[in-house]
Amino acid sequence: MGIINPPWQSYDVCLSGESILHFKSYRRLLLSAIEHSDDIHLYHNMVSFLFKGRTLERLFGSVKFFILLVVFTLATSLTYVGLAWAATEYFKSYSYMKKCAVGFSGVIFALKVLTTHYERSYYSQVMWFTVPSKYAVWAELLIIHILVPRASFIGHLAGILVGVAYVYGPLNGVVNAIYTTVAGPPRPSYTYAHGMTRGYTYR
């Protein structure tokens, strides 16, 4: 929007397997997520983030949601690098290591896995289609790949895998451990009622 002029260009912080594994440019793991290719790319991602964030921040609370975003950003970037390396090894083409991506959409795909999991709805709307919620994020991955050829398939897939790792894997424990360190252990909840029980008065 021109309000803040960052001290880098898109190509300085775009994420690729080569930039991380060979050139050790680790700042890209974070900065690539906040950089976008153009205004439309930014606006689309932020509108999508607004809808998902509204649901998840209410569910987790602001502090835990912020931790979730930081962890998801790093995890999605690292997964992207891993997928780029795996594709290079499998297809014997170094081009996968050189593909460079920017944008927050990988993290948004991870958040979409969480929203479809916690909302517990049977069906979701993806573009013009109604699909079972458990397949919604995969359908969106394919539709965007077909309609927007420039979109990073590996980046979006990385986000989905990170979301799955949170819902069904160990990433949930990582986020909870960080949250407990920052905010302290969860406080026990109490139910208050009138009367006397074992010498304690409840009001």
Positions marked active-site:
105, 156
Burial level of 26, CB count in 10 A (0-12/13-18/19+)?
A: exposed
Q: Among all chains, which residue has been given the structure tokens 């649901």?
A: 55
Angle of helix 133-147 relative to helix 153-168, nearest 10 degrees, comes to 170
Q: What angle do CA 2, 7, 9 make, to 5 degrees?
A: 80
Q: How far apart are CA 187 and CA 15, in angstroms?
A: 40
Give the number of other Cβ atoms within 10 Å of residue 199's Cβ: 5
Residue type, 21: L
Instruction: List CB contacts of 158: < 8 A, sequence separation 6 or more.
Output: 76, 77, 79, 80, 82, 83, 106
